[in-house]
């Protein structure tokens, strides 16, 4: 299992985590932004009118309203990435990471406009009378590249489990256990039943549920976030200053307390931006293809709002909560994760400049690094280490007040063997003070507002709503990919497996699936970006024809009035 996971990580290093990937993603967004004349700005107001139904036409084909399609797509994008993903991006890349998320969202508004328009244009009606669309259909029906469509569809099915299903319920179950003491299997069982009740009803039930969940969870999260931001109102200015200073000076040296390279901050910001709003990935067009509209551009316009709401609004609120509260570069009491723990040779103190510089080079893998991983033994008495010659690093910081615990809450006494920086004894739990990241960091930040410690409960509740709605939306994405590959007969088996996987992941290790999803996301994104670039002229002509028809209709209405 570990060998497979390492292979997938290696493969991802040549794909999503590769240096070229952010430039391709942003490059396509820049191209279409210029090629179509900044549609995310020029058409923004019109998009709001379309989503409210102002220009709806009777008899238009489709399964959902514009608002329901937008809600379904938003439920797929507004998820754990908006809560834990932003915190992780800031932790790894500093405040500058949020700036690059904004850039990705701004350009992504155009990319999503293009991919949704083209996918809606080449959608089809399935055997059961519902609509099916997505990049695989324009790849097949317009570009005659069925092989590319098949790759995209397979990657979509994998991503439905690795992005929208297993990690979501795993995060929910862990959060509910830590915050309320609920057994993960119980959480998974209850939510799996609810998930089955929703997705078996198809897109109409999915849209009906998400159109109610999305506004509720949005209002709850916004109120909680503003309670922290306004409580720390004097830090709003400095927070924005840090974001732009790090981005434009190229320092970005505040990520992870001990620092991150500028390239690392850029890469993480762009990748987290994609993970959050999915612009360019080709997933949201599948939801938008269900909308009742005969003009593909009208639904493309609706999709412009998606990255704006998801990233410019929700992710920014999370970022400001974390930055204004000041918790992102402070150490907090926590239980150490083995994946974030490293033990290095030598004694280091991250309050000493020379030590900070040495640790910076080690953590960022620069050529100037002189630190080596520790191999040897640690002597422990009553939970505290009594030997030296090593330093515990957790979450890119020097751990303090460390205790070693075994068998529940009993302090450990004895010898611990360390091999190449890793603790060999599996039943030892390490507790201490260090930096934290992801949803745990966001939870701490939410407790630093007008609501006090009660504010941290907003995160697990929001996380449950965000993640559950994401699982609902991604079930539909995988559903339509199955229809493309196998026809309607494959839908019910897929839904059963999807619900079963959702339940199992609530208490099982999802590392392998999560790693596999990194690869699958890129195998969705790269073919989709290639496809929309090949159809750039058709996109421009389609947009031009839409506005000509729209202007003619509006002129006719004025004459009749």
63 vs 492, higher pLDDT: 492
- Average of per-residue pLDDT across 20-44: 92
User: Cβ neighbours of residue 437 under 8 Å, at least 6 residues apart?
Assistant: 87, 88, 91, 92, 340, 395
Give the rounded percent of residues in the chain with a pLDDT score beyond 70: 90
The candidate with the shortest Cα–Cα distance to 496, out of 479, 516, 477, is 479
Per-residue exposure over 454-465, b if at least 16 CB sit within 10 Å of its own CB, e if not: ebbbbbbbbbbb
User: Cβ neighbours of residue 102 under 8 Å, at least 6 residues apart?
Assistant: 273, 311, 312, 316
- Average of per-residue pLDDT across 532-538: 96
HSE-CB of 230 using CA atoms within 13 angstroms: 8
The dihedral built from the CA positions of residue 215, 220, 225 and 231, taken in this order, carries a sign that is positive
User: Cβ neighbours of residue 187 under 8 Å, at least 6 residues apart?
Assistant: 169, 172, 173, 176, 177, 506
Domain 1-329+435-541 in this protein, CATH class: mainly alpha
* pLDDT (0 to 100) of residue 273: 61
Both tokens of 350, joined, read 């991250």
409 has a pLDDT exceeding 80: no
Measure the CA–CA gap between 546 and 294, rounded to whole angstroms. Answer: 11
Both tokens of 551, joined, read 């202007």
65 vs 154, higher pLDDT: 154
* pLDDT (0 to 100) of residue 122: 94
Measure the CA–CA gap between 319 and 243, rounded to whole angstroms. Answer: 10
Q: Which of 26-35, 49-58, 218-227 has the highest mean pLDDT?
A: 26-35
Measure the CA–CA gap between 91 and 498, rounded to whole angstroms. Answer: 32
Lowest mean per-residue pLDDT among 205-209, 305-309, 325-329, 471-475: 205-209
Q: pLDDT tens digits for 458-493?
A: 888 888 888 888 888 899 999 999 999 999 999 999
pTM of the model: 0.86
Q: pLDDT tens digits for 496-505?
A: 999 999 998 8
The candidate with the shortest Cα–Cα distance to 442, out of 335, 327, 332, 339, is 327
CB neighbourhood size of 197 (10 A): 12
- Average of per-residue pLDDT across 531-536: 96
Measure the CA–CA gap between 82 and 487, rounded to whole angstroms. Answer: 34
User: Cβ neighbours of residue 392 under 8 Å, at least 6 residues apart?
Assistant: 341, 342, 343, 398, 399, 402, 430, 432
Cβ 66 vs Cβ 50: under 8 Å: yes
- Average of per-residue pLDDT across 317-343: 91
Cβ 300 vs Cβ 114: under 8 Å: yes
Measure the CA–CA gap between 557 and 143, rounded to whole angstroms. Answer: 38
340 has a pLDDT exceeding 90: no
- CATH 1.20.1740.10 residue window(s) in the chain: 1-329+435-541
Beta bridge partners of 343: 392
User: Cβ neighbours of residue 280 under 8 Å, at least 6 residues apart?
Assistant: 25, 28, 29, 108, 111, 112, 115, 274, 525, 528, 529
Band of residue 259 on the pLDDT scale cut at 50, 70, 90: low
Cβ 112 vs Cβ 306: under 8 Å: yes
- Supply the mean pLDDT for the chain: 86
Q: pLDDT tens digits for 183-218?
A: 989 999 999 999 999 888 877 888 888 888 888 888
DSSP character for 296? H
The dihedral built from the CA positions of residue 192, 193, 199 and 205, taken in this order, carries a sign that is negative
289 has a pLDDT exceeding 50: yes
253 has a pLDDT exceeding 50: no
66 vs 11, higher pLDDT: 66
User: Cβ neighbours of residue 340 under 8 Å, at least 6 residues apart?
Assistant: 394, 395, 396, 437
225 vs 213, higher pLDDT: 225
Long-range pairs of 44-48 with CB within 8 A, sequence gap ≥ 24:
44/304, 44/305, 44/308, 46/301, 47/301, 47/302, 47/304, 47/305, 48/305
HSE-CB of 375 using CA atoms within 13 angstroms: 3
The vertex-307 CA angle with 305 and 311, nearest 5°, equals 125
256 vs 243, higher pLDDT: 243
* pLDDT (0 to 100) of residue 252: 45
């Amino acid at each position: 299992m570990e060998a497979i996971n390492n292979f997938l990580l290696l493969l991802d290093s040549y794909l999503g985590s590769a240096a070229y990937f952010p430039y391709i993603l942003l490059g396509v967004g820049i191209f279409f932004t210029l090629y179509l004349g900044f549609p995310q700005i020029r058409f923004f107001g019109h998009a709001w009118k379309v989503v409210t139904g102002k220009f709806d036409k009777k008899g238009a084909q489709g399964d959902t309203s514009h608002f329901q399609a937008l809600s379904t797509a938003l439920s797929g994008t507004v998820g754990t990435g908006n809560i834990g993903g932003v915190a992780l991006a800031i932790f790894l890349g500093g405040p500058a990471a949020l700036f690059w998320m904004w850039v990705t969202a701004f350009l992504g508004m155009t990319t999503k406009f293009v991919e949704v328009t083209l996918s809606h244009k080449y959608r089809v009606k399935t055997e059961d009378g519902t609509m099916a669309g997505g990049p695989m259909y324009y790849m097949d029906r317009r570009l005659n590249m069925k092989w590319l469509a098949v790759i995209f569809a397979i990657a979509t099915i994998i991503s439905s489990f690795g992005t929208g299903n297993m990690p979501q319920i795993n995060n929910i179950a862990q959060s509910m256990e830590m915050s309320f003491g609920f057994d993960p299997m119980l959480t998974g069982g209850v939510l799996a039943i609810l998930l089955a009740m929703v997705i078996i009803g198809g897109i109409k039930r999915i849209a009906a549920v998400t159109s109610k969940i999305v506004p509720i969870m949005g209002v709850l999260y916004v109120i909680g976030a503003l309670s922290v931001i306004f409580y720390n109102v004097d830090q709003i200015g400095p927070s924005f200053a840090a974001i732009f200073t790090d981005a434009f000076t190229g320092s970005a040296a505040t990520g992870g307390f001990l620092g991150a390279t500028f390239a690392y901050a850029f890469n993480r910001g762009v990748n987290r931006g994609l993970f959050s709003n999915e612009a360019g990935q080709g997933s949201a067009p599948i939801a938008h293809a269900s909308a009742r509209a005969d003009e593909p551009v009208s639904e493309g316009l609706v999709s412009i709002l998606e990255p704006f709401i998801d990233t410019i609004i929700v992710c920014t609120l999370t970022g400001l909560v974390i930055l204004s509260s000041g918790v992102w570069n402070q150490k907090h009491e926590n239980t150490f994760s083995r994946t974030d723990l490293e033990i290095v040779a030598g004694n280091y103190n991250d309050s000493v400049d020379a030590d900070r510089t040495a640790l910076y080079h080690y953590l960022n893998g620069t050529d100037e690094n002189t630190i080596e991983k520790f191999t040897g033994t640690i002597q422990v008495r009553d939970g505290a280490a009594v030997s030296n010659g090593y330093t515990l690093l957790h979450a890119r910081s020097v751990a303090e007040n460390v205790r070693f615990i075994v068998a529940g809450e009993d302090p450990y006494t004895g010898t611990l063997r360390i091999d190449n920086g890793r603790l060999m004894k599996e039943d030892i739990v390490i507790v201490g003070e260090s930096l934290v990241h992801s949803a745990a960091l966001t939870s701490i930040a939410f407790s630093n507002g007008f609501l006090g410690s009660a504010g941290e409960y907003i995160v697990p509740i929001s996380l449950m709503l965000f993640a559950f709605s994401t699982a609902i939306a991604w079930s539909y994405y995988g559903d339509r990919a199955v229809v493309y590959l196998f026809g309607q007969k494959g839908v019910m088996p897929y839904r059963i497996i999807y619900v079963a996987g959702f339940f199992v992941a609530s208490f099982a290790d999802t590392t392998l699936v999560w790693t596999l999803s990194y690869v699958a996301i890129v195998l969705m994104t790269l073919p989709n970006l290639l496809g929309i670039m090949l159809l750039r002229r058709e996109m421009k002509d389609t947009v031009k024809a839409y506005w000509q028809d729209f202007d003619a209709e509006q002129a006719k209405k004025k004459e009749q009035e």
